[in-house]
Amino acid sequence: MTHHDSDRDEAPSGQLPERRVAGMRWGWFGAGLVIAGVGAAGWGHVLRWSLVEEPSVGTNIGLLLAAGLLLVLLTALVRLARRPARPEGNLSPVSDAVASVRGRAGLAVLVVIPFALYGLVRLQRGFMGGLPEPGDVLFGLGMTFAAAGLAVLGRAAADLTGRSLTSLCAGLLTVAAVAQAGLLAAETLPVEATTAALPVEATTAASTMVPVAVTQGPSGVGPGPSKVSTGHAAPNPGPASVSKVAWQWRPPGDETVRQVVAAGGHVVVRTFDGVVAVDSVTGRERWHYRRPGAVTVEMVATPDGGMVAVEFGTVRGAQKVRARTVLLDAYTGEVGSEQAQELRSNAAFTSYGFVTADPDDGTVVGWGLPDTGEPVWSYRLPRGCHADSEQGTRSESWQVELRDVIALPVSCDRNVAVIALDPRNGDEVWRYERPRTDGKPDIEADPAEDGSALGLTFRDGDGTVTKEVVLAQEHGEDVGTVDSPAKVVQVFNADGYLTESDESGRATYRWESYGGGEPKTAELPALGGDLWKVRRLPLKDGLLVAQATIKADTVSIGTHMAGWGKTEPRSISIDMGYRQIVDFQPRALNLLPFSGTVVVAFNGGATVVGLA
């Protein structure tokens, strides 16, 4: 009786059995996956290297090792393709070359799989964070397909004879199609793939996001309404005094406090991958919005504290490579919108949209929420008015954002002026003008920290200060004149201003109301030091002064509360923890007044503190 080996089928001499030919076509499909996968991974590696970050030495060495093994595999494939079809006993004419390909494919798989897993992890983190990089997409998918193709080659080694080129092209097209789908998903899916968290303790405040009608602002001469009423809350004056630490809060995972703003009645803290709203009275978390895998770049709040805009980005050095901006309701943390773009530079952020101003042509443009790229309204300075610094106007940035209006310092014919616009529709709300002096007068416009007033400093042609006035932001009326010869104005608002004078190592502070009356005074040791390390906050019953001291890896903040009158100050020292300086956010000391507390924080510290 004759027994046939199950692994050997009858076939004409010099040809492979049909069953084996089918297997060889799968082998060529695997070869196509390997070739296209390696190409995609290499392209992705180059993109990350050139646009995002330089790879580690270990990554480069591993990739070179994988490339070497794939080169050895390619050599075995060439030998297999050129092997003459000569039977040798009971063995297939290409069996030894097939064994060589399988062995090399198995070894290459062991090297490529860790890179495939590394690429998939980066890809998953990118999608979770909403900022998947094209380089990560190509590298992760390319390495995955290369590993899959090597596994197929290990099971069915390829033969270049017959009709196997069809399978090769199928493998190439498969990788190309999936890579293209991955790149498309990187641009579309992240809008939905967020990790927004609901409030830990729900608040009752309603969302402040409001629709905006498309209108065309005025361009002619003439004042608008006498005042504006947008329903914004008045600035919080803070407690009457503070004397103790009421609470301390640390970011989750021992992260760094990168930035803080007052919004929604809370202190909103920007961390590495999101923002957390902390109750200003209890120090407990109210809500958070975090995106694992993403990195926050910047955070801004509207003047009324109703909304917070958070920019997530990919940063290389001092350059932002990619960005995504999320608008959040500051009371609840609810997502209002999300867009694949960065925050508008040099733009005022209001509850009705962004406002940009171009001093070169005198145009102001309002952009809605969400920012679709289409203007909602536009405004052009009246004829005869311009924002040319050489013609007598100067400001840190041309437009000045106040609580309810956008103020524009300008020069109009023979007057210097301030024009205030309604951010809802671009209507002119009020205008303040005064005659120009001889020469080229200069006007400096500075907002009060609480947005309640606009301080104007007028200088004549040689730089001498001729007048300092304060305008109420809601109607533009002159609420008072700052009279501070030989003194430095530290803080001002719509009610009064704080001056400081140093004598014999003591600092004397005076709070003077525009309406007159006896000034309030407080004395403290002279602090000195850099301006960004000191903050002053006038309260009802006294003055709170804080100073940051940086030593090696720690930041400590000393706070001094002096009552109005001749009283000894009460001092509290606070250890802010590890100091870490981050890109796009300068070191800064923050004093934020809330109802019942004052929140102390340092950009780069490890804790936020509430004083009561």
- Return the pLDDT at 586: 63
- What mean pLDDT do residues 180-199 have? 63
Q: What is the mean pLDDT of the chain?
A: 77
- Return the pLDDT at 376: 93
- Return the pLDDT at 129: 67
What band does 7 get if pLDDT is binned at 50, 70 and 90? Answer: very low
- What mean pLDDT do residues 505-509 have? 84
Reading the block at residue 31, the tokens are 């070869």
Q: Where are the alpha helices (DSSP H) in 297-348?
A: none
- Return the pLDDT at 456: 86
Reading the block at residue 272, the tokens are 């590495």
- Return the pLDDT at 248: 95
Residues 219, 221, 227, 228: what is their CA dihedral angle, to the nearest 10 degrees? 0
Q: Does 207 score more than 90 pLDDT? A: no
- Return the pLDDT at 42: 84
Coil, strand or helix at 383:
coil
- Return the pLDDT at 301: 93
Higher pLDDT, 405 or 52: 405
- Return the pLDDT at 592: 94
Strand order in the sheet with 319-329: 296-301, 307-316, 319-329, 335-339
- What mean pLDDT do residues 269-280 have? 92
**444/409 Cα distance (integer angstroms):** 8
Q: Does 8 score more than 50 pLDDT? A: no
Reading the block at residue 69, the tokens are 């093994």
- Return the pLDDT at 54: 61
- Residues of the chain with pLDDT > 90, as a percent, come to 25
- CA-nearest of 129, 145, 151 to 181 is 145
In residues, how long is the chain?
612
- Return the pLDDT at 9: 42
8 Å CB contact between 570 and 558 = no
Burial of residue 38, with CB atoms counted within 10 A of its CB: 0-12 exposed, 13-18 middle, 19 or more buried: buried
Q: Looking at 61-75, 252-266, 598-612, which range is the least confident one?
A: 61-75
Q: Looking at 4-13, 211-220, 350-359, 589-598, which range is the least confident one?
A: 211-220
- Return the pLDDT at 270: 94
DSSP class of residue 15?
-
Q: How far is CA 442 from CA 136, 309, 439, in A?
A: 52, 34, 10
What band does 601 get if pLDDT is binned at 50, 70 and 90? Answer: very high
8 Å CB contact between 443 and 405 = no
- What mean pLDDT do residues 344-350 have? 86
What band does 283 get if pLDDT is binned at 50, 70 and 90? Answer: very high
**73/76 Cα distance (integer angstroms):** 5
The DSSP result for 340-354, as a single string, is SSPPPTT-EEETTEE
Reading the block at residue 391, the tokens are 């013609």
Q: What end-to-end distance do the CA atoms of the chain give, in Å?
A: 101
- Return the pLDDT at 219: 33
Reading the block at residue 302, the tokens are 């509207």
- What mean pLDDT do residues 588-600 have? 92
pLDDT for 296-322, tens place per residue?
888 999 988 899 999 887 655 545 556
Where is 141: in which H helix or E strand?
helix 134-155
- Return the pLDDT at 439: 57
Q: How far is CA 263 from CA 43, 228, 529, in A?
A: 44, 22, 30
**20/93 Cα distance (integer angstroms):** 12
Strand order in the sheet with 520-525: 488-492, 496-503, 506-513, 520-525
What band does 157 get if pLDDT is binned at 50, 70 and 90? Answer: low
Q: Does 190 score more than 90 pLDDT? A: no
What lies within 8 Å, CB to CB, of 443 at 6+ separation is 392, 393, 394, 395, 409, 416, 418, 456, 457, 458, 459
- Return the pLDDT at 18: 47
The reply to whether omega before 525 is within 30° of 0 (cis) is no
* pTM of this structure: 0.70
- Return the pLDDT at 232: 47
pLDDT for 17-41, tens place per residue?
444 444 447 777 888 898 899 889 8
- Return the pLDDT at 419: 94
- What mean pLDDT do residues 495-504 have? 85
**113/49 Cα distance (integer angstroms):** 21
Q: Does 579 score more than 80 pLDDT? A: no
Q: Which one-letter amino acid corresponds to residue 156?
A: A
Instruction: Indicate the angle between helix axes 95-129 and 57-82, nearest 10 degrees.
Output: 150
pLDDT for 211-262, tens place per residue?
333 333 333 333 333 344 444 456 677 899 999 999 999 998 878 899 999 9
- Return the pLDDT at 437: 66
Q: Looking at 116-125, 138-147, 158-167, which range is the least confident one?
A: 158-167
Q: Looking at 201-205, 450-454, 459-463, 545-549, which range is the least confident one?
A: 201-205
- Return the pLDDT at 223: 34
8 Å CB contact between 392 and 386 = no
8 Å CB contact between 44 and 184 = no
Residue owning tokens 């910047």: 298
Highest mean pLDDT among 19-33, 393-407, 469-483: 469-483
Q: Looking at 64-73, 173-182, 389-398, 423-432, which range is the least confident one?
A: 389-398
8 Å CB contact between 547 and 558 = yes
- Residues of the chain with pLDDT > 70, as a percent, come to 72
